[in-house]
């Protein structure tokens, strides 16, 4: 018997792949209005859309039923990390980028980056992320600000990305052999916060992540672009993500990207796409970021 069905004594019929019955959240009378998928614990209410209010993952259903029955919700209720969200079915096997960049190369950078200091990022933050300027004429990243990319365990530098401050193309240049499909920028620092909250913020790149960190928000991840790949999807599941806040750039491409991510993954995560009036996250002040994100974290955190 499914643990949610058993714990809350849900009146449902069991099929090969789903449980079906009246919606236990709003107590309807339509015996086909509610379905709970056995394998993933995702659920839907077809009459009132209760899953849209609470989230269609198993954790959302448990929170809704706890609220209805005046049961205090706690993160480990019903062993939620393993049973409710069932993230193990989306097994993420980290396809480590074969290139390992020696730490000695990072140490040759001028850290903290003067260019990023001029953009308003604190020195302490830039030192933590080892963001520095390269002035070596013989290097691939010459006259760019270089940002190391670590593996999830924060052991090896698997790649680097570098921003030009001139009218050069591309604006961000990745090290040779780097495959963005295998990485989310800041996953090594954000993992513990995402595991605790159940919430991840998706943004396009390094500058946006640093803006969130500057604002004291530590669960943001950079896509290295505007689209989310299948392996990044699996990594998000592996990190324990139930809700994703999408903060791509506020232009046509960014809005289209956000819509595509939601459409392709709406049965896997809860999504929140806040509106803001600046071009991108980097143009928002820390107080503006906090006013947008903190209420969402309060509502959706585990």
In this structure, the answer to whether residues 173 and 188 fall within a common structural domain is no
CB 222 within 8 A of CB 203: yes
How many C-beta atoms surround the C-beta of residue 63 within 10 A? 21
Is there a domain that residue 94 lies in? no
Q: Report the C-alpha gap between 34 and 39 in whole angstroms.
A: 16
In this structure, the answer to whether residues 223 and 251 fall within a common structural domain is yes
Is there a domain that residue 97 lies in? no
Q: Tell whether pTM > 0.75.
A: no
Is there a domain that residue 210 lies in? yes
In this structure, the answer to whether residues 84 and 114 fall within a common structural domain is no
CB 149 within 8 A of CB 185: yes
Q: Report the C-alpha gap between 192 and 199 in whole angstroms.
A: 11
Q: Residue 75's pLDDT is what?
A: 59
pLDDT exceeds 80 at position 95 = no
pLDDT confidence band for 112 (50 / 70 / 90): very high
Is there a domain that residue 192 lies in? yes
pLDDT exceeds 50 at position 161 = yes
Instruction: Count the domains in the chain.
Output: 3
Average pLDDT, the chain: 86
In this structure, the answer to whether residues 53 and 69 fall within a common structural domain is yes
Report the C-alpha dihedral over residues 222, 224, 230, 236, rounded to 10 degrees.
Answer: -10
Is there a domain that residue 113 lies in? yes
Q: Residue 275's pLDDT is what?
A: 94
Task: State the sign of the Cα–Cα–Cα–Cα dihedral 190, 194, 195, 196.
Answer: positive
Q: Residue 49's pLDDT is what?
A: 85
CATH of the domain at 243: 3.40.1360.10
CATH of the domain at 166: 3.90.980.10
Render pLDDT for 221-253 as a digit per residue (tens, 0 to 9).
999 988 888 889 889 988 999 999 999 999 998
What domain range includes position 123?
103-181
pLDDT confidence band for 96 (50 / 70 / 90): very low
Is there a domain that residue 164 lies in? yes
Q: Residue 27's pLDDT is what?
A: 80
In this structure, the answer to whether residues 193 and 280 fall within a common structural domain is yes
pLDDT exceeds 90 at position 122 = yes
Look at 277 and 94; give whichever has higher pLDDT: 277
pLDDT exceeds 90 at position 285 = yes
Which one of 146, 181, 216 terminates a domain? 181
In this structure, the answer to whether residues 84 and 166 fall within a common structural domain is no
In this structure, the answer to whether residues 35 and 74 fall within a common structural domain is yes
Is there a domain that residue 111 lies in? yes
CATH of the domain at 50: 3.90.580
Which one of 29, 56, 89 terminates a domain? 89
What mean pLDDT do residues 272-301 have?
Answer: 96
Give burial (CB, 10 Å; 0-12/13-18/19+) of 291.
Answer: middle
pLDDT exceeds 70 at position 97 = no
Is there a domain that residue 96 lies in? no
Residues 6 or more apart whose CB falls under 8 angstroms from that of 115 comprise 133, 145, 163, 165
What mean pLDDT do residues 198-203 have?
Answer: 96
In this structure, the answer to whether residues 171 and 188 fall within a common structural domain is no
Which one of 152, 181, 210 terminates a domain? 181
Q: Residue 291's pLDDT is what?
A: 97
- Binning the chain into helix, strand and coil, the percentages to the nearest 5 are 35, 15, 45
E-strand spans in 151-185? 157-164, 172-174
Rank 9-18, 142-151, 176-185, 211-220 by mean pLDDT and report only the highest.
Answer: 211-220
In this structure, the answer to whether residues 53 and 121 fall within a common structural domain is no
How many C-beta atoms surround the C-beta of residue 27 within 10 A? 8
């Amino acid at each position: 018997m499914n643990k949610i069905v058993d714990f809350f004594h849900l009146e449902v019929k069991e099929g090969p792949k789903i449980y079906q019955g009246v919606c236990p959240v709003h107590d309807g009378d339509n015996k086909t209005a509610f379905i709970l998928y056995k394998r993933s614990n995702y659920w839907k209410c077809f009459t009132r859309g209760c899953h849209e209010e609470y989230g269609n993952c198993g954790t959302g259903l448990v929170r809704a039923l706890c609220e209805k029955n005046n049961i205090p919700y706690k993160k480990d209720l019903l062993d939620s990390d393993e049973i409710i969200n069932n993230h193990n079915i989306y097994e993420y096997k980290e396809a480590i980028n074969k290139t390992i960049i020696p730490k000695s190369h990072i140490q040759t950078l001028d850290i903290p980056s003067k260019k990023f200091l001029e953009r308003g990022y604190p020195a302490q933050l830039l030192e933590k992320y080892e963001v520095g300027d390269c002035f070596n004429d013989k290097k691939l990243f010459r006259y760019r600000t270089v940002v190391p990319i670590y593996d999830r365990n924060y052991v090896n530098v698997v790649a680097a990305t570098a921003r030009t401050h001139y009218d050069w193309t591309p604006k961000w240049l990745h090290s040779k052999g780097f495959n963005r499909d295998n990485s989310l920028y800041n996953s090594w620092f954000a993992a513990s916060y995402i595991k605790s909250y159940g919430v991840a913020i998706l943004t396009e790149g390094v500058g946006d992540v640093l803006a969130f960190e500057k604002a004291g928000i530590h669960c943001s991840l950079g896509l290295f672009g505007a689209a989310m790949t299948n392996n990044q999807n699996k990594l998000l599941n592996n990190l324990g993500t139930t809700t994703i806040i999408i903060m791509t750039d506020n232009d046509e491409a960014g809005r289209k990207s956000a819509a595509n991510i939601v459409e392709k993954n709406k049965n896997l995560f809860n999504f929140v796409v806040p509106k803001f009036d600046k071009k991108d996250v980097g143009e928002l002040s820390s107080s503006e970021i906090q006013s947008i994100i903190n209420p969402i974290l309060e509502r959706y955190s585990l």
